[in-house]
């Protein structure tokens, strides 16, 4: 979609600049591992390439954008898969979602899914990070 003009690209860049600054500030206050910063930057790359790469070029080189979309998707699945197994009520109490499994089975299933998404995320990073540049 190359119909994005420079003003709209600037808005996108401004939005992610604010998000990245927030992540940066938070990581100093919380002595964080900067993963949120890294993932936010991946989201910026994903959105930038999706919105600025012409459709013909996307068809010729689909791996760059597809791998970014997949990596961000795996991270989001990693972050949210807990809600497939647990819920938080109004009193901030965590309980298992009603299933036919006992507590240990629910915990094992959750950790298995979580680790799978975590491994997939880093595998996608490892295989594709060199292609995620504007000049690649």
- What average pLDDT does this structure show over 1-12? 78
How many CB atoms neighbour CB 54 within 10 A? 11
User: How far is 93 from 25, CA to CA, in rounded Å?
Assistant: 30
User: How far is 49 from 128, CA to CA, in rounded Å?
Assistant: 14
Helices 62-80 & 35-52 angle (0-180, nearest 10): 140
**Higher pLDDT residue, 54 or 85?**
85
Mean pLDDT of the chain: 88
Give 96's strand partners. Answer: 86
Q: What are phi and psi of 31, to 5 degrees?
A: 45, 65
- What average pLDDT does this structure show over 80-93? 88
31: left (phi over 0), alpha (psi -120 to 50) or beta: left
- pTM, two decimals, is 0.84
Q: Is the pLDDT of residue 134 over 70?
A: no
* Domain assignments of the chain as residue spans, ordered by start: 1-60, 62-136
């Amino acid at each position: 979609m190359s119909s994005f003009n420079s003003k709209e690209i600037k808005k996108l860049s401004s939005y992610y600049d604010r998000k990245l600054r927030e992540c940066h500030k938070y990581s100093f206050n919380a002595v964080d591992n900067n993963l949120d910063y890294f993932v936010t930057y991946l989201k910026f790359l994903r959105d930038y390439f999706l919105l600025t790469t012409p459709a013909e070029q996307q068809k010729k080189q689909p791996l760059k954008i597809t791998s970014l979309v997949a990596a961000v998707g795996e991270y989001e699945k990693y972050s949210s898969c807990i809600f497939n197994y647990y819920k938080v009520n109004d009193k901030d109490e965590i309980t298992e979602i009603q299933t036919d499994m006992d507590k240990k089975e629910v915990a094992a299933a959750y950790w298995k899914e979580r680790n799978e998404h975590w491994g997939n995320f880093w595998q996608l990073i490892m295989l594709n990070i060199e292609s995620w540049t504007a000049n690649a």
